[in-house]
Amino acid sequence: MELLPQYLANGLVTGSFYALSALGLTLILGLMRVVNFAHGELYMLGGVMGWWATTRLGLDFFTGLLLVAVVMAAFGWLVDRLLIERIRDQGEEPGILLTIGLSIFLANTALLVVGTAPLKVEAPLSAGPVFFGDIVLTKLRLFAMGVCAVLIFAAWLLIHKTRLGRAMRATFQDPMAAQLAGVRTANVYAATFAMGTVIASMAGMLLGSIYSAQVSIGGLVSMKAFVVVILGGMGSFAGAICGGLLLGVVEALWGGYVATGSVDIIGFALVILTLVFRPYGLFSKRAERA
Q: Answer yes or no whether residue 268 interacts with another protein by CB under 8 A.
A: yes
Q: Answer yes or no whether residue 226 interacts with another protein by CB under 8 A.
A: yes
Count of CB atoms within 10 A of residue 200's CB? 32
CB of 243 to another protein, least distance (A): 13
Nearer to another protein, 64 or 244 (CB): 244
CB of 271 to another protein, least distance (A): 5
Q: Rounded distance, CA 200 to CA 126, Å?
A: 24
User: What CA–CA distances, in Å, run from 162 to 102, 119, 168, 202?
Assistant: 31, 37, 10, 21
Using CB under 8 A, pick the residue from 20, 44, 49, 98 that binds another protein. 98
Using CB under 8 A, pick the residue from 103, 192, 197, 236 that binds another protein. 103
- The contact mask relative to another protein for 135-174 (x = CB under 8 A, - = no) is ----------------------------------------
- The contact mask relative to another protein for 170-209 (x = CB under 8 A, - = no) is ----------------------------------------
Using CB under 8 A, pick the residue from 188, 227, 228, 252 that binds another protein. 227
CB of 285 to another protein, least distance (A): 15
Using CB under 8 A, pick the residue from 22, 67, 68, 106 that binds another protein. 106
- Is-contact 3 240, C-beta < 8 A? no
Binders of another protein in range 21-40 (CB under 8 A): 29, 33, 35
Nearer to another protein, 1 or 117 (CB): 117
| CA nearest to 233, candidates 179, 287, 162 | 287
CB of 72 to another protein, least distance (A): 19
Q: How many amino acids of this chain bind another protein (CB under 8 A)?
A: 45
Nearer to another protein, 60 or 85 (CB): 85
Using CB under 8 A, pick the residue from 12, 71, 73, 96 that binds another protein. 96
Q: Answer yes or no whether residue 116 interacts with another protein by CB under 8 A.
A: no
Instruction: Please state the three-class secondary structure of the chain as a single string.
Output: CCCHHHHHHHHHHHHHHHHHHHHHHHHHHHHCCCCCCCHHHHHHHHHHHHHHHHHHCCCCHHHHHHHHHHHHHHHHHHHHHHCHHHHCCCCHHHHHHHHHHHHHHHHHHHHHHHCCCCECCCCCCCCCEEEECCEEEEHHHHHHHHHHHHHHHHHHHHHHHCHHHHHHHHHHHCHHHHHHCCCCHHHHHHHHHHHHHHHHHHHHHHHHHHCCECHHHHHHHHHHHHHHHHHHCCCCHHHHHHHHHHHHHHHHHHHHHCCCCCHHHHHHHHHHHHHHHCCCCCCCCCCCCC
Residue numbers of the site for another protein (CB under 8 A)? 29, 33, 35, 83, 86-87, 90, 92-94, 96-98, 100-109, 111-112, 219, 223, 226-227, 230, 234, 259, 261-262, 264-265, 268-269, 271-272, 275-276, 279-280, 290
